[in-house]
Amino acid sequence: MSKERDYYFEQYQDRKMKKWAGFYLSEHTAIIEQEKKRQPPEKKRQMSWAEIDEVLAQAFQNQVEVIIQKEELDGEGNYGADIIGRIQGHDELGIYVDSQKVGYDEIRHVHLH
């Protein structure tokens, strides 16, 4: 039986599967590098309600874009991506930044863009 096995490996010709393994590896490596570069947003200073109100009023009056960090954390304890846009309107519960509603109590930090 050993002779049959040796014969098989002597006659075996590679079908270039190594090429595909290398291709997968390079794609996998690229994805890992992208993940490393993607850093979670930094924790910004908690602003007082008076500071937040002042910045929001200024942005609304002058139609300037704002950058808002919400108080919510993801499953890993990181803050989400900043919300960037113009304030389109407001009500008693929050503001509308472009088409997204942000509650006043959700705002951790806001500054003009």
Domain ranges of the chain: 2-37, 49-112
For residue range 36-49, what is the model confidence (pLDDT) as tens digits?
777 778 899 999 99
Q: Which CATH architecture has domain 49-112?
A: Roll (2.30)
The whole-model pTM stands at 0.65
From the number of C-beta atoms within 10 Å of its C-beta (0-12, 13-18, 19+), residue 108 rates as: middle
> What is the per-residue pLDDT for 97?
94
> What is the per-residue pLDDT for 23?
60
User: Which residue stretches of the chain have pLDDT < 70?
Assistant: 1-9, 12-25
> What is the per-residue pLDDT for 17?
59
* Sign of the CA dihedral with 44 first, then 49, 52, and 56 last: positive
* Long-range Cβ pairs for the range 95-99 (8 Å, 24+): 95/56, 95/60, 97/66, 97/68
